[in-house]
Amino acid sequence: MSDYSIDQFIADATAIVAEGLDNRQVLQKMVPLAKRVSQDTSWVQLDFYDCDEEQGFGITMLHVADDESLSVQTVCWLPGRGVAPHDHQTWGIVVGLDGVEKNVNWLRQDDGSRPGYADIAAHHEVMVGAGDACSFLPDDIHSVENDGDKPTLSLHLYGAVLANNERSEFDPEAKVQRPCPKRVRKAAN
């Protein structure tokens, strides 16, 4: 059993957000804490692995700040499933809890001035396994995939509630930028 609980982590994350730091400073302070809370997964519940078959993953909301300046959730990815390139329009952190997920970071090749158009190219892959973390700034674009043969679980933190953010999803082949679909989420038990 760890001396660092998910409740203490959420309290620490809330305190960091309250400091009013810029996005890079938030990530710099929060990533080590996210890695720390991932070291002992005794707080993980079996129902965090519940997935929506249609969307290919399951999101369990663990915490939402009253002012929506912080949201903490787990995401379980079904084997062979993932999401298209997308942005978050806020800072974000993903830390692995169980299994390995592939995050592909994409770079925009155009200047973003043409509505509905985006020319993006894969930049590099980051494999996020248990205890590994990756972070994102608001305009960063990434895609996620579970290439394995069993579900994976990761902890996600954001500086907003993604369901309430105007985010984009990208189709690199068609060079299209469109509103990100709303995802099915459930509250933790």
Looking up residue 109, the CATH number of its domain turns out to be 2.60.120.10
In a domain, 31, yes or no: yes
Does residue 91 contact residue 136 with C-beta atoms inside 8 Å?
yes
In a domain, 171, yes or no: yes
The model's pLDDT over 58-97, given as tens digits with 9 standing for 90+, comes to 999 999 999 999 999 999 999 999 999 999 999 999 999 9
133-142: average pLDDT: 97
Phi and psi angles of residue 10, each rounded to the nearest 5 degrees, phi first: -60, -40
The model's pLDDT over 150-165, given as tens digits with 9 standing for 90+, comes to 999 999 999 999 989 8
In a domain, 1, yes or no: no
In a domain, 21, yes or no: yes
DSSP state of 162: G
The model's pLDDT over 33-61, given as tens digits with 9 standing for 90+, comes to 999 999 999 999 999 999 999 999 999 99
Distance between CA atoms of residues 103 and 119, nearest Å:
19
pLDDT at res. 100: 97
Q: CB-hemisphere CA count at 13 Å for 160?
A: 15
In a domain, 157, yes or no: yes
What's the residue count for the chain? 189
Strands 185-187 and 57-64: parallel
Q: How many domains does the chain have?
A: 1
Confidence of residue 184 (pLDDT cuts 50, 70, 90): confident
The model's pLDDT over 96-131, given as tens digits with 9 standing for 90+, comes to 999 999 999 999 999 999 999 999 999 999 999 999
In a domain, 79, yes or no: yes
In a domain, 18, yes or no: yes
Domain housing 64 = 6-187
